[in-house]
Structure 1
Amino acid sequence: MYLLRLALASLSNRRFTALLTVFAIGLSVCLLLAVERVRTEARASFASTISGTDLIVGARSGSVNLLLYSVFRIGNATNNIRWDSFETLANHPQVDWAIPLSLGDSHKGYRVLGTNGDYFEHYHYGRGLSLELAEGKPFQDLFDVVLGAEVAQALGYHLGDHIVLAHGVSTVSLQQHDDKPFVVTGILERTGTPVDRTLHISLEGMEALHVDWKNGVPARGAGKVSAEQAREMHLQPTAITAVMLGLKSKIATFALQRQINEYRGEPLLAVLPGVALQELWSLMSTAEKALLVVSVFVVLVGLIGMLTAILASLNERRREMAILRSVGARPWHVAGLLVMEAFALATAGVGLGLGLLYVGIAVSRGFLQANYGLDLPLALPSAYEWSLLGGILGTAILMGSVPAWRAYRQSLADGMSVRL
C-alpha cells in the first residue's frame, strides 16, 4: 500500500499532466463503452422492429429484400401478390390474422402504406408493444390518413390538415394525386421504428388513388374519376405488396412456410422475420466490427499517451529515483512505483469514462428512444464490458512495465550524477 500512496503523491506533484492523461483515457473509455452499449441495444432494437408476426409473405425474391420493403420501407417489391392469393392465406386454417400491405406511393419522401384495421390491432414492435395513437383515431373514411410521429413532426401536420399524396417513392414527384386529397385523422405515438416515417391509409383509399390510372399514367378528360365518384365505386384491391401473418400455433410455422413457398397459384416467398433480421444484421456486421476496432484503437492511443507522459518524466525524476534508492528502496520498489502510477492513471481514467458514459446516457436517453428507438439502460456494466475494462487495466500495467524496466536498470551512481 505504501507504493500506492507514494505513487499518488508523485502524481499529485505532476497533477496537470496527470489530469490531462486521465481525461484522455476517460474519453477513450467512454467512447468504447458507448459504442458497445449502442451496438448491443441497436441489435436488440433492430431485432424488435417487428414482433409477434410469424411470417411475412411477398412475391418471390430474396428474404432480405422482402424484409426491407415490407418492414423497413426500403426499396421496392419485384412484383405484387394477387388479392385472391391473400384471401387464400387469410382463410388458411392455421392463420389467426393477416395484415395486407400495399406500397408504392409517397408524400415528400415518406412512404405511404395501404392496409386495414388489423394493422393497428396486430402489428407489434419492441417487446410486444402495440401501436398507440397520440391524437385522433384510425382511418374510417375513404380519404383518411394516419401519420407516423416523425412525419407529423417533420412536416408540421395536425389533425384536420389536408395533404396530397404522390405517385411513386421519390422525394420530388411530378405526378401528384391532387384530385383526391386526404385528411389527417390520427397521429401515432413514437415507436422508434419505420412506422414513425410512414403515412397509413386504407386499402380502399389506395385503390381510389389509382382507379383512373392505366399503365402508371393518370387518365385525362372524361376518363378521370373524381373523389366523389370514387366513393360510389367498388374499390376492392386486385393486388397488394406483401402480407404479415400471425399463426394460431407456432409449431405450424415451418410447415406453412413450406406450403406458401410451394404455392402453385403464383410464385410466393414466406420468410420468418427473426431469421431475415439476423441475415440482414450479418450483412451489417462488418461496419459494426469496424466501429468497435476504431474505438479500441482510440483507447490504445489514450494509453500510449499515458506511457509517453511517464517516459517523458523519467529523466526529470532520475534524482528522485536515486534518493529513493539511497534511503533503502530496492530496484523492484522503484519499478513497482511506476507500475502503480500507470495503474492509478488507468483506474482513474476508467472511472471517469464510466461517469461520462452514465451522464451521457442520462442526458440523451429520451432523445435516442424517441428518435431512434434505442433504449440505453442505466445499468451496471455487463460481463463483456467488465472484460473490456479489465483488458484496459491490464494493458495499462503492461505499458507501465516499460518505464518501470528503464527505472529498474538505472543505477544509483547514474541517478546521482545527472547530466544537465
Structure 2
Amino acid sequence: MSALWSIAWRSAWNRRFTLALTAFSIALATLLLLGTERLRTELRANFTAAVSGTDLIVGARTGSTQLLLYSVFRIGSATNNMRWESVQALQAQPRVAWVVPISLGDSHRGFPVLATTTDYFTHFRYGARQSLALQQGRPFEQLFDAVLGADVAQQLGYTVGQSVTLAHGAGTVGGALANEHADKPFTVVGILARTGTPVDRTVHISLQAMEAIHLDWVGGAPLPGFRVPADQVRKFDLQPKTVTAALVGLQSRAAVFSVQRWIAGYGAEPLMGILPGVALDELWQVIGAGEKALLAMSALVGVVSLAGLVSTVLAGLNERRRELAVLRAVGAGPWHVLALLALEGALVTALGVLLGAALAAAGIALLGPWLQAQHGLTLSLSAPTAQEWTLAGAVLLAGWLASLLPGIRAYRLSLADGLSPRT
C-alpha cells in the first residue's frame, strides 16, 4: 500500500500544474461551503445573543418581526408609539417584575440613539444572560449625559468627557448631520464594554433628555423663531408622553402567556407583547431562505469542481495509457491501477480541502474586525463545528468517489491496448 501511495504522489507531482488548478477549484468550493456554514452559525448566534432575560417586548400593535427589529436590532422604525400611561399600567401588574421603556428615532453620525432609564443597565441581558458592563465611566445621571456603545466610541474616537451632538432622524455615517440638536450638546460619561450585539452601535441617553431636546420641535422640525436654551429645559415637564417600546421581565416565566393576553386585551390603546425567542425564530425562517440558497450555490460550485477533477484525470488518461500498461507489465493488477488513480484523486481532493479550510480561517481572521465594526457581526476563530467537519468529510468522500470513474476506465484498459501503438 505504501508503494501505491508513493507512486500516486510522484504521478500527481509530475502533473502538478494541471492538478494544482483542480485542487484550487476544490479549495474555493470548500471555502464557500465552510465560510457559508460559519457565517450562518455566527449570524444565528449573534441574533440569538442580542437579547436574553427579557420575557416580553411590548409595543404598538404591529408585526412581531417588525417590533423585534426596531426595538432590539434598531432596524426600521415604529409605525406608532405606546403611551406612557400604558407603561405605568404594565408596571403595575402584579406578575411584572420590571419594565424598561425605550424610545428611538434620533441618531448620532448614523448610529441610533436609544433613550431609556437607568434600569436598562440593571436588567438588560444579552448572550447567556450576561449583564451590561461599563468599560469606562458610569451610567448617565445628569440630564445631558450619554453612554456610548463600544463600536460608537471606537469608530468615532470618543472618550469619556467628550461633547457630542445628536441629530433628529437617522442621519448618515460620516456625513453631515441633518436637523442637528446643536443647541443641546451631551457629555460622554460612560463607554460600555463590547457585547457583540446592537448595543455596541447605540448611543444611550435618558428619556428626560430625549424630551428635552425636542421641546422646541414639532412634527419632526424645529419651531421657527422659538428656542429653549439647554439651561432652561429643566423648567419644563420632561416626563415622556410616549415611548417606542418596553422590555418586560416577569416574576415567573409561567405567567408569560397570561400577561401577553392582558396586553392584547388592553383597552386604552392597541398593544402587543411578543416573546423574543419566538420572534427570533420567525425572523430566522425569513433569513433561512437566503441561507439555503447560499448553501445550494456552494454545493453547486463543489460539484463543478469535482467534475473538473474527473475531466482532468480522464483527459490525462489517454496520455498515460503506456504508463499504466508498463505498470501492468511489471506485475501490477487491474485493482492496483484502480487504487492508484483513486489515491491520486483523494490526494488532490484532500489538498483542496485543506487549502480551502486555511483560506476560510484566514478570511475569518481578516474580515472579522471589519464585519464587527461595519455590521456588528462577530466572527471569531474557533474549532470547527460538527457540521463543518461533516461538510469537509462530504467533499473528501465526493472527491474520492469522483476519482473512481477514471479509475474504472483505466481498469478496463487491457495490457495489449496500452503497449500497442495507436494510429
Q: TM-score, normalised by structure 2?
A: 0.91
Distance 1:196 1:416 in 2: 72
Read off the aligned partner of 2:11 and give its amino acid letter: S
- Could you tell me which residue of structure 1 aligns to residue 181 of structure 2? 177
Contact 2:361 2:381 in 1 (8 A): no
CA deviation string 1:324-375 (max 9, x = no partner): 2222333333223212211222223333333444455566666666763425
- Could you tell me which residue of structure 2 aligns to residue 41 of structure 1? 42
2:165 matches 1:161: no
Distance 1:109 1:358 in 2: 31
- Could you tell me which residue of structure 2 aligns to residue 249 of structure 1? 252
Contact 2:155 2:373 in 1 (8 A): no
* Deviation for aligned residue 1:47: 1.1
Q: TM-score, normalised by structure 1?
A: 0.92
* Deviation for aligned residue 1:67: 0.7
* Deviation for aligned residue 1:196: 1.7
Read off the aligned partner of 1:248 and give its amino acid letter: Q
Distance 2:60 2:360 in 1: 45
Distance 2:214 2:271 in 1: 24
Distance 1:362 1:144 in 2: 36
Contact 2:111 2:202 in 1 (8 A): yes
Deviates more, 1:103-112 or 1:62-71: 103-112
Read off the aligned partner of 1:208 and give its amino acid letter: A
Deviates more, 1:50-59 or 1:332-341: 332-341
Contact 1:362 1:378 in 2 (8 A): no
2:287 matches 1:284: yes
Which of 219, 223, 244 is the equivalent residue of 1:219?
Answer: 223
2:208 matches 1:207: no
- Could you tell me which residue of structure 1 aligns to residue 25 of structure 2? 24
Read off the aligned partner of 1:76 and give its amino acid letter: S
CA deviation string 1:74-101 (max 9, x = no partner): 1111111111110111121111111110
Contact 1:49 1:125 in 2 (8 A): yes
- Could you tell me which residue of structure 1 aligns to residue 237 of structure 2? 234
Spell out the pairing of 1:255-334 with structure 2 (5 A cutoff).
255-334=258-337
Distance 1:216 1:337 in 2: 75
Contact 2:171 2:178 in 1 (8 A): no
2:176 matches 1:192: no
Contact 1:147 1:198 in 2 (8 A): yes
Contact 1:148 1:197 in 2 (8 A): yes
Distance 1:173 1:64 in 2: 29
Residues 368, 213 of structure 1: CA spacing in aligned structure 2 closer, same or farther, 3 A cutoff? closer
- Could you tell me which residue of structure 1 aligns to residue 401 of structure 2? 398
What is the alpha-carbon root mean square deviation over aligned residues? 2.3
Distance 1:168 1:380 in 2: 42
* Deviation for aligned residue 1:28: 2.6
Residues 398, 418 of structure 1: CA spacing in aligned structure 2 closer, same or farther, 3 A cutoff? farther
What SS class does the counterpart of residue 266 from structure 1 fall into? coil
Deviates more, 1:59-68 or 1:339-348: 339-348
Contact 1:191 1:373 in 2 (8 A): no
Contact 1:139 1:186 in 2 (8 A): yes
Read off the aligned partner of 1:183 and give its amino acid letter: T
What SS class does the counterpart of residue 316 from structure 1 fall into? coil
Contact 1:318 1:418 in 2 (8 A): no
What SS class does the counterpart of residue 201 from structure 1 fall into? strand
2:110 matches 1:106: no
Distance 1:136 1:45 in 2: 26
Contact 1:99 1:116 in 2 (8 A): yes
- Could you tell me which residue of structure 1 aligns to residue 53 of structure 2? 52
Distance 1:163 1:359 in 2: 37
Deviates more, 1:334-343 or 1:211-220: 211-220
Read off the aligned partner of 2:245 and give its amino acid letter: A
Which of 366, 370, 378 is the equivalent residue of 1:374?
Answer: 378
Read off the aligned partner of 1:334 and give its amino acid letter: V
Residues 25, 228 of structure 1: CA spacing in aligned structure 2 closer, same or farther, 3 A cutoff? same
- Could you tell me which residue of structure 2 aligns to residue 96 of structure 1? 97
Distance 1:251 1:347 in 2: 52
Contact 2:151 2:373 in 1 (8 A): no
Distance 2:41 2:218 in 1: 48
Distance 1:50 1:3 in 2: 57
Mind listing any 5+ residue stretches in structure 1 that lack a counterpart?
none
* Deviation for aligned residue 1:161: 2.2
Distance 1:8 1:338 in 2: 10
